[in-house]
Amino acid sequence: MKAVFKFGKKFDHNGKSSRIPGFYKLDLSQRLDKLNDWYKLTRNEKWMLKKETLTPELADMMIENAIGVFGIPLGIAVNLRLNNKDYLVPMAIEESSVVAAASNAARLIRENGIMVGQATEPIMISQIQIVDVEDPETARQKILDNKERLLSVANQNDFTIVRLGGGARNIEVEILETISGPMIIANLLVDCRDAMGANIVNTMAENLGPIIADLVDGNVICQIVSNLSDRRLVKIKFTLDNVDCLARAGYSGKDAAERLVKAYHFADADPHRAATHNKGVMNGIDGVLIATGNDWRAVEAGVHAYAARDGRYKPVTKYYFDEEGKLNGEIEIPMAIGIVGGITKIHPGVKILLKMINVETASEIAQVIAAAGLVQNFAAIWTLATEGIQKGHMTLHAKNVAVFAGAIGEMAIKIANQMAHEGRVRFDRAKELIKHFMIKERCEDPKHKDDQECKDYNPFKLLDNNNKN
Ligand code: NAD
């Protein structure tokens, strides 16, 4: 049973635009108000998103030995249009520049081209390991001969997904040569509909394991989901009608596009580069997974295993010029995620954000998440191939450096702006500037005008813009 892509189902267009010019210029409360045009947040929902979506009491129910709740910034990537539908994409992420880069690349694509997606059926794999069988080939055949009965037993474990059109679909059996001899591996394929499905398929496998072991007179060991969910794939592709929009850092759009494609060729040929390339993809993906209550470790494991499926670790996106000379970007990855199950209906923040992202099925959100990975990676490779990563990244990172050095509030912003302006985003420079701004503030108070420190103070000395290194 091969994974077959169903060409992008058209999801209902909600008539809303995720193009929100100047969203980044608003303050936090104004941004929340702006979202009203998109999704009517209640006062309580706004308060929760701003302050606290998970209470310690709920955290205590979710994991063991809970001691509290850990915060992480929550942002909205704007501008994404996929399959002719707009999405606002929530990202819970601590790394600066990701939300901005994804929003910017999504804007470029919607204004200069098109992005479409496809997904396979949401098929998860659960593996049942049987050892100590006398004749592996006969055992394999026996399992296959009993397939219909075994599938029906598996489906007794979850009437809901069967009723929804999902359920156990197939059993594939392989004889695996291992260090401890041949083993029978029965791969149970289950359509999990809108759930990620790990618990669903694990339950089915644990019930089937002993039955299969009896059938072939062997012993069962592992009965567990595979995170290489390569029957549950998504594929997203964008095409730019013209590349003038990519002109940057003195390169024409055409030159920038050519450099970008060559940067991808480097990743395609070198696993060291491919690892960082794929890290950039996951920058766009993990934040959405966290914000939507999905198991990002599971998706990470699946994506990296899929990246190495041909025996060598490769990038999961690719960039090329088609026969018409248009620039294309593509991503193909496994995406085992859900809009039901897990914590999706438990975590109060996730519940709000899933309503806001406005998807009908797990397949739809899987495509949105993969698209976020593609646009984020596109933004990163474009920057890398033109002005380099550090300039913009460090400018956005400057606030973190200022806070790290001890600045707070307005002062942190002033120091970040000054360091970005100078091109010197460094801890030692932030410390120097904190000292400078503190003396300045003190000396502006007439009470201190006769202090020696204020008499010696030269406001221009430390703000020398030419003092770059
Ligand atoms: P789950 O256990 O909450 O089960 C989902 C339930 O939702 C099912 O019982 C199903 O009957 C019901 N359901 C209702 N409406 C549905 C619909 N429209 N489509 C599908 N099901 C519907 O969740 P799950 O998705 O089976 O498991 C996900 C959880 O498993 C995650 O929290 C993950 O972290 C965890 N997990 C992961 C691994 C792994 O990845 N290796 C292993 C174990 C557990």
pLDDT digits (tens, 9 = 90+) for 329-376: 999 999 999 999 999 999 999 999 999 999 999 999 999 999 999 999
Residue 340 carries which DSSP code? Answer: B
Residue to substitute in 123, 160, 229 for testing ligand 1 pocket (most ligand atoms within 8 angstroms of CB): 160
Query: What is the H or E stretch that residue 440 is in?
Result: helix 427-444
What pLDDT is recorded for position 460?
Answer: 67
Residue to substitute in 196, 223, 224, 346 for testing ligand 1 pocket (most ligand atoms within 8 angstroms of CB): 196
Euclidean distance between CA atoms 188 and 154, whole angstroms: 9
**Spacing, Cα 227 to ligand 1 middle (Å):** 14
Q: What is the pTM of this model?
A: 0.90
**Spacing, Cα 341 to ligand 1 middle (Å):** 4
**Spacing, Cα 168 to ligand 1 middle (Å):** 14
| 3-class secondary structure, 129 | strand
Euclidean distance between CA atoms 196 and 159, whole angstroms: 16
- Is residue 279 annotated as part of the catalytic site, yes or no? yes
What pLDDT is recorded for position 271?
Answer: 98
Strand partners, 225: 126
Euclidean distance between CA atoms 186 and 208, whole angstroms: 10
Residue 6 carries which DSSP code? Answer: B
Query: What radius of gyration do the chain's Cα atoms show?
Result: 27
Ligand 1 pocket, Cβ-based, cut-off 6 angstroms: 158, 160-161, 164, 192-200, 202, 225, 227, 295, 298, 338, 340-342
What pLDDT is recorded for position 15?
Answer: 78
Structure tokens at 363: 């397949």
For residue 10, how many other CB atoms are within 10 A of its CB? 9
Query: Within the chain, which residues score under 70 in pLDDT?
Result: 1-2, 6-13, 459-469
Structure tokens at 39: 């999704």
For residue 343, how many other CB atoms are within 10 A of its CB? 17
Ligand 1 atom closest to the CA of 343, numbered from 1: 32
Query: Among residues 9, 34, 95, 254, which one is catalytic?
Result: 95
Structure tokens at 208: 């089937």
What pLDDT is recorded for position 449?
Answer: 78
Euclidean distance between CA atoms 397 and 402, whole angstroms: 9
Positive/negative CA dihedral, 130, 133, 139, 143: negative
